[in-house]
Structure 1
Amino acid sequence: MQTYTYPDLVNKLVNLRNLAVPPVKGETSGTFSSYDRSSVYDETTDTYQEWGANRDGDGFIRKEEEGMVVLELDGPGVIWRVWSAIAKEGHMKIFIDGKKTPVFDRPFRAFFESYSDERSPLNFPELTPILSRGRNSYVPISFQKSIKIIFEEGWGEYYHFTYTTFPKGTIVPSYTGVFDKESSIALAKVDRKLYRKQDAHEKIENIKEEKIQKVIQSKQKETIFETVNSGAMTKFVIRPKFTDFSQEEITEILRSVTLSIFWDDDEKASVWSPLGDFFGTAPGINSYQSLPLGMTEEYFYSNWFMPYTKGVKVIIENEGEQKIDIEASICHTPLPIEETSHLLRFHAKWHRDEFLDLDKERFKKNGDRWPDWPLLLVEGKGRYCGVSMHVYNTWEQPEEEPQTWWYGRWKDKTIDWWWGEGDEKFFIDNEKFPSTFGTGSEDYIGYAWAAEPPFSMFESAFASQPYVELDANGHTSVNRFHVGDNVPFQEKFEGFIEKYKSNHWGENNCCIYSTVVYWYQEPDVKDKYGKVNLKERLKYIHN
């Protein structure tokens, strides 16, 4: 029987090592959101109806005398993340463990702005970031028996509640609406850790650092690190020497050079990605810092915890025309075989429009699964931990002159250019209706109203937009990482994000997605993703 204190739960937000622990039976996750309830699964025909419905701002479970029920869940469990596009004065009521009196009964807006019952405003800026209009709270709300949340009229628009439930018998503290001294200090410590982002993760003892310097010639590859021992990589840093290259050349190099990582005696890489994309952003160098990944002009870093039993091999391949000079450092720690043989293996794969074994006809415009676009399709036991997306959405300038900004605002736009209406949908272990069903691509990341100018860049521990064009016409780079709120699966994970715009949505307009997905998986189960050729990778990297 597992017992968690509130500080234990808070520390899960920064513990990357936990991601490699296999999920136990009874550990589940999901998201309650305001998605359009006209999207349904028809069991009699095994098809999906109104699957692209897009009135996502006010969906709910049912109405009761006190208001609309937006979340209802049996414990033990924890709410990891609460998000809203606009939180207003209508009350949010949180009922814990079946009690008739809510432990929280205040304006929804106050949930993001106040702390316990104190007069002073909440002051955990890293745990409760406002990301380009989107309100986020990563302050855990735990419950032993059950939780129910009701919104009163005037609460706002759009919501997400992302949760984990633990196996029966697990003991967690139940939220009372007030945080005691120990809990408050735990939140303050983690908030301060998250401020430092790349150094926020839990520290690991007995670390060894390998420093590497390589010149990799055109059309050549180099093994930059290899060991046959049992252990784990804990930090990976690349320092490319790009001083002699133009920005355009750097952008091409970061797609032409690839990273491959092989665990144990595997013949197939568990990690394969263009070098730049692996570190969470594209195209080119876009500075940002998060907890697991980041990029600066001087170096790129990864903090993912990567265990192995029979060793690891890290290869950098240069398929470009220019030789490259890089420095790297890899931190690793020895671990007993008895531990690593039971841990999951880290995976990361880059792809574009990869449907694998899916029936692609169902995903076309008239198919019942449109507009789902596959992020990740894997089998076996593991944990989904996040994604970075490069969206190349570009269009011809409209002839009509707008009254405001570049293309106008709201319904007065001169062109319907916005790419990100698509909801995330995660199907776990053969479920027919996704346990996570979101309300929009920017909502999943954590920002809001992203079709409306101005278009800002931002960074945080778990979500960032390292790049977007000033007028949004061209490249957008976003990422979202799941640490405390990772998505466990026992048999299968099928993750999608809706893509309403086709690859070519006008005579000279296009909308192209590429992505790197990060997850952990059983050692003996291989994913089906392969390498992508250089010609395909180099498409859509320049405006």
Structure 2
Amino acid sequence: MYMKKTCTIAICLFLFSCFTVSIQAQQVNFESLLREMADREAIARYPSQAYTLAQFSSYDRATTVPGDSSWYANWDRSMFIRLDSDKGRKEYVLFDTTGPGAIVRFWMTFSGSNSGDGILRFYLDGKPEPVIQGSAKEVISGTALVNGPLAASVSDSVKYSMRGHNLYLPIPYAKSCRITYETNNITDYGAKKGEAVYYNINYRTYQQASVTSFSLKDLKKHQALLQSVQEKLSTRDKGLQGLSLNPVNINTTIAAGQSSTINLPSGSNAVRHFRLKLSAANLEQALRSTIVSFKFDGEQTVWVPAGDFFGTGYQVRYSNTWYSQVNNNGTMETWWVMPFQKEATLTLHNLQDASVQVEGLIETAPWKWDDRSMHFGANWRQYTNVFTGEVKNMEATGEPFDVNYVQLKGKGVYAGDGLTLFNTIHRWWGEGDEKVYIDGEKFPSHIGTGTEDYYGYAWCRPEKFSNHPFIAQPDGSGNFTPGFTVNMRYRNLDAIPFNKQLTFDMELWHWGRALINYAPVTYWYMQPGGTTNIKPEIATAKLPVVIKRSDIVSPTINHGKVEGENMELVSVSGGKLTYQNLKGYDWSDNTQAFWSEGKPGDKMVLKFVSEEEGQFHLSARLTSAPDYGKVKMKLNGQPVAITFDGHEEKTKVKMLYLGNFRIRKGENLLEVEITDARPNEKKTAYFGLDYLRVH
């Protein structure tokens, strides 16, 4: 009897102990979220405390039905839930939800007079007094709560008023959270006048966890932990201390069209560090046409060009983030945790017509596989020479459209993405918003305010930033002008869990008519058996990479005509050449080559290509307007007899016969020199070329 009673008590104590551990495991608070943020392994296991991740933002509320005329509406600022009057204050509500939950990412930017000077307030659990109150910029990216990198604005080289402001400090709440912005500068929703407020707020909603609400006292109580997390994020702590690492060196030459496979140590392990450096006669092509492919437990989950996998695209650009690093010497590294239960292989495919030398290292460490463990995955695709549509306005006429980054089916977590593109005109390419659908949603629970906002910066700025743990723009050269751009966003506490399916779309909303290359890479984790809609794009990865505009936009005569905007700029001694895309001026394709701010004596040389040689008549369709000047021209060094006076009181487009000229097979040069400017303050002149006719 005594024995039975003792056993019964022991069993009860054991069960109570298990129950207590279970309850403790479900506790979420400021401390637990900070620890999760610095734990590299956390993202590789499906969350133990089930949560959904969603977003409040200032997206244009006209966006309601996929596919209708307003789906791409662009008045995505100063769109609030409502206006609250509290103690005589005008408080615009940005965020209002019931918990338990946590704010895990908060991005903002502003424009207009006295913008961003309003007061931001966080009200938790229905209490009348805010837990956090202060100037919006000081709260989000200043020092009101915490220093960088958890509170930071980017890029440092951009004027402060044009930066994106990012707060990654977690703000948990037990019952509810309401965030308001007090200002007297708001005149209308959509900010057609007055102050414009843009915001994106990512938040978790827990299904069963017990959450302790944030208090300013937490910053002092957990000061040591907070400082430790900040230091780990800043120094990119790799989380390798104390691990039994098994290194495998990579040093091989892969012949054209061949592959090299490396078997990783068998058993339950995880890749913890992967380093690669490529050497090739054409390094840019090697970065795109050398493929990184991982198989975990027989499932191929990674197939991505090497440069895109490490976040540099097909040109070496420095970056230093939590998950990846690229050095100026071309060494690329990543610290994604990639678990497997039994076996794994890394295969490097060389799709080029030339050999590539590969040096590197892959390190694994033991991993305890359990029912929450997930395989790491990464997908890549390129939309090649994609047409961006016609001239657009804020109501989104001009055919913007949604581009699919990826669709995942299974149970897993979306962990981030990057974008490599080449822009071909002098207009901003990234007005489009992200749209994320989770587990069959008909309307996206994540819809944003612009591609640059999604990637953490603002106002289309081209300046680089490469030292934030979670966001980077290693190159923004193609943001305003023809050129190359790379953006990255890695997710931490803002990783998105899904139980059945996740679809990530991004609007391709380019301000001008253009052909561009647009290549997203996505990173994710899924439990075994998950699938993706992106299959290996071998033919696309083999395509020659684009280094200059003419690699996409051909300056070759086509059917007796070459568009001015297709001609390649050889040189310009003063002013600048852009490609003006406007409706209503009777230009072919609504676009002309537009030389602005030139002065008398300035010269511009444009190049076009002919596939045949001979004597041809040459005509030019030119623009005249009040601020256009007088020019003389030469073709292949031969003067054009006619001087063109582009000054007219009203804008006109007219054909001018230039004469009979010898056209060379291959490259031909058109030189334009300004001889006279119109009287104006700057004494400058404009010149516009619609197209050349060769007949």
> Shorter-normalised TM-score: what interval?
0.7 to 0.9
Structure 2 residue corresponding to 1:191, chosen from 222, 226, 230: 230
Residue 226 (structure 1) aligns with = 264
Deviation readout 1:170-192 (Å, 9 max, x if unpaired): 12331224434332222221111
Q: CA deviation at 1:370?
A: 5.4
Tell me if the contact between 1:281 and 1:479 (Cα under 8 Å) persists in the aligned partners. Answer: no
AA aligned opposite 2:104 = W
Q: Any conservation in 1 of the 2:374–2:526 contact (CA below 8 Å)?
A: yes
Residue 210 of structure 2 corresponds to residue 181 of structure 1: no
Superposed displacement of residue 89, structure 1:
1.8
Residues 272-313 of structure 1, C-alpha deviations (whole Å, 9 max, x = no match): 011111101212211111111121124111111111112101
- 1:499 matched to 2:508? The reply is yes
Identify the range of structure 1 (55-64 vs 15-24) with the bigger mean alpha-carbon deviation: 15-24
The corresponding residue for 1:362 is none
Equivalent residue for 1:378, pick from 395, 398, 408? 408
Aligned to 1:147: 177
Match of residue 210 from structure 1: 248
- 1:89 aligned to 2:128? no
Q: Which residue of 2 aligns with 1:410?
A: none
Answering whether residue 544 of structure 2 is matched by residue 514 of structure 1, we say no
Q: Aligned residue for 1:527? A: 532
Please state how far the C-alpha of 1:204 moved relative to its aligned partner.
6.2
- Check if 1:129 corresponds to 2:152: yes
Deviation at 1:37, TM superposition (A): 0.8
2:478 is the alignment partner of 1:476 = no
Measured against aligned partners, the alpha-carbon deviations of 1:120-172 in whole angstroms (never above 9, x if no partner) come to xx66221112112111111111111111111112486201111112222x123
| Change in 2 beyond 3 A, CA 1:29/1:204 | farther
Q: Determine the C-alpha separation between the residues in 1 that align with 2:122 and 2:465.
A: 33
Among 321, 325, 329, which residue is 1:290 paired with? 321
Q: In structure 1, how many angstroms separate the alpha carbons of the residues matched to 2:406 and 2:371? A: 25
Deviations 1:366-424 (A, max 9, x none): 999952211111111111111110111112xxxxxxxxxxxxxxxxxxx5x10011111
Give 1:76 shift: 1.7
In 2: Cα distance, 1:533 partner to 1:290 partner? 28
Match of residue 338 from structure 2: 306
Q: Name the counterpart of 1:277.
A: 308
Match of 2:286 in 1: 253
Pick the aligned partner of 1:104 from 108, 132, 135. Answer: 132
Structure 2 counterpart SS, 1:109: helix
Instruction: Pick closer, same or farther for the CA change 1:101–1:143 going to 2, 3 Å.
Output: same
Asked whether the equivalents of residues 48 and 369 of structure 1 are also in contact (C-alpha less than 8 Å), the reply is: no
Native 8 Å contact 1:231 1:340 kept in 2? no
Q: Which amino acid aligns with 1:11?
A: R
SS of corresponding position for 1:129: strand
For residue 523 of structure 1, give the secondary structure of its aligned residue in structure 2.
Answer: coil
**Matches of 1:465 and 1:163, distance apart in 2:** 24
For residues 201 and 161 of structure 1, what CA distance do their matches in structure 2 show? 28
CA distance in 2, matches of 1:214, 1:425: 42
Structure-1 residue corresponding to 2:573:
none
1:90/1:511 Cα in 2 relative to 1: closer, same or farther (>3 Å)?
Answer: same
Q: Does 1:55 align with 2:75?
A: yes
Instruction: Indicate how the Cα distance of structure 1 residues 14 and 369 shifts in structure 2: closer, same or farther if over 3 A, else same.
Output: farther
Asked if 2 retains the 8 angstrom alpha-carbon contact of 1:96 and 1:103, the reply is: yes
- Deviation of 1:13 (Å): 2.2
> Cα offset for 1:536?
5.2
Q: Sequence identity, in percent?
A: 29
Q: Which has the higher contact order (CA 8 A, sep 6+)?
A: 1
Amino acid at match of 1:163: Y
In the TM superposition, residue 526 of structure 1 has moved relative to its aligned partner by: 2.4
Q: Secondary structure at the match of 1:386?
A: strand
5+ residue gaps, structure 2: 1-22, 156-162, 186-194, 385-394, 549-695
Listed one character per residue, the Cα deviations across residues 204-234 of structure 1 (whole Å, up to 9, x for unaligned) are 6222222222121222111123333221111
Relative distance call for 1:376 and 1:233 in structure 2 (3 A) is same
Partner of 2:592: none
Shift in CA distance, 232/458, structure 1 to aligned 2, threshold 3 Å = closer
Runs of 4+ residues over 6 Å off in structure 1: 365-369
Aligned-pair CA distance for 1:253: 0.9
Output the CA distance in 2 between the equivalents of 1:25 and 1:427.
21
Q: RMSD across aligned C-alpha pairs, in angstroms?
A: 2.6
The one of 136, 159, 177 aligned to 2:199 = 159
How many pairs are equivalent? 487
Structure 1: distance between partners of 2:146 and 2:50: 35
Structure 1 residue matching 2:283: 3-state secondary structure: helix
Q: Which position in structure 2 is the counterpart of 1:406?
A: none
Q: Deviation at 1:321? A: 2.4
1:394 is aligned to 424
Residue pair 2:143, 2:151 contacting (<8 A) in 1 also: no
Cα distance change on mapping 1:263 and 1:292 into 2, 3 Å: same
Residue 459 (structure 1) aligned with residue 467 (structure 2): yes
- In structure 2, relative to structure 1, the CA distance for the partners of 1:438 and 1:200 (3 Å cut) is farther
- Structure 2 partner of 1:538: 543
2:507 aligned partner, one-letter code? E
Aligned-partner SS, 2:151: coil
Find 2:85's aligned residue among 55, 60, 65: 65
| CA distance, structure 1, for counterparts of residue 503 and residue 225 of structure 2 | 35
- Code of the residue aligned with 2:227 in structure 1: it is A
Task: Find out whether 1:34 has 2:58 as its counterpart.
Answer: yes
Distance 2:220 2:132 in 1: 19
Q: Which residue of 1 aligns with 2:363?
A: 331
> Do 2:322 and 2:469's aligned partners in 1 also have CA atoms closer than 8 Å?
yes
Residue 428 to residue 241, structure 1, CA distance change in 2 (3 Å): same
| Paired position in structure 1 for 2:190 | none
Structure-2 separation of matches of 1:26 and 1:371: 33
What SS class does the counterpart of residue 320 from structure 1 fall into? Answer: coil
The 1:332–1:495 alpha-carbon spacing in structure 2 relative to 1, beyond 3 Å, is: same
Instruction: Pick the structure with greater CA Rg.
Output: 2
Aligned pair partner of 1:434 in 435, 439, 444:
444
Task: Tell me the equivalent position of 2:38.
Answer: 14
TM normalised by structure 2 equals 0.66
AA partner of residue 83 (structure 2)? K
Which of 313-322 and 437-446 deviates more? 313-322
Structure with bigger strand share is 2
Letter in 1 for 2:290: V
